[in-house]
Amino acid sequence: MEVMIYPTYEEMSREAARVIADLLNTKPNAVLGMATGSTPLGLYRELVRMHKEEGLDFSRVTTFNLDEYVGLGPQHEQSYHWFMHENFFKHVNIPPQHIHIPSGTTSNYHAFCEWYEKRITECGGIDVQILGIGSDGHIAFNEPGSSLMSRTRLKTLARQTIEDNARFFARPEDVPIYAITMGVGTILEARRLLLLANGKNKARAVAQAVEGPVTSMITASALQLHPDALVFVDHDAASQLQMRDYYMWIQQNKPGAPKT
Binding site for ligand PGA (CB under 6 A): 37-39, 132-134
Please give the DSSP secondary-structure letter assigned to residue 124: T
Shortest reach from residue 178's CB to ligand PGA, in Å = 16
From the candidates 127, 138, 226, 234, which is the catalytic residue? 138
From the candidates 46, 117, 143, 234, which is the catalytic residue? 143
Shortest reach from residue 124's CB to ligand PGA, in Å = 25
Residue 55 and residue 32: Cα distance in Å, rounded?
18
Nearer to ligand PGA, 33 or 134 (CB): 134
Nearer to ligand PGA, 83 or 112 (CB): 83
Shortest reach from residue 35's CB to ligand PGA, in Å = 7
Shortest reach from residue 196's CB to ligand PGA, in Å = 8
Tell me the residue number closest to ligand PGA, measured at CB: 37
Residue 65 and residue 80: Cα distance in Å, rounded?
9
Residue 98 annotated as catalytic: no
Nearer to ligand PGA, 5 or 98 (CB): 5
Per-residue HEC secondary structure of 187-244 comes to HHCCCEEEEEECCHHHHHHHHHHHHCCCECCEHHHHHHHCCCEEEEEECCCCCCCCCH
From the candidates 68, 117, 127, 136, which is the catalytic residue? 136
Which one, of 40, 134, 31, lies nearest residue 84 by Cα? Answer: 40
Residue 117 annotated as catalytic: no
Nearer to ligand PGA, 62 or 181 (CB): 181
Nearer to ligand PGA, 62 or 219 (CB): 219
Integer angstrom CA distances of residue 70 from 34, 152, 181: 18, 13, 10
Burial class (CB in 10 A: 0-12, 13-18, 19+), 127: buried
Residue 67 annotated as catalytic: yes
Shortest reach from residue 191's CB to ligand PGA, in Å = 21
User: 154-162: long-range contacts (C-beta < 8 A, 24 or more apart)?
Assistant: 154/70, 154/109, 154/113, 154/178, 154/179, 154/180, 155/179, 155/180, 155/181, 160/134, 160/135, 160/136, 161/134, 161/136
User: Length of the chain in residues, anyone?
Assistant: 260
From the candidates 67, 68, 117, 127, which is the catalytic residue? 67
Residue 40 and residue 23: Cα distance in Å, rounded?
17
Nearer to ligand PGA, 15 or 114 (CB): 15
Shortest reach from residue 219's CB to ligand PGA, in Å = 10
Residue 57 annotated as catalytic: no
Q: Active-site residue numbers? A: 67, 136, 138, 143
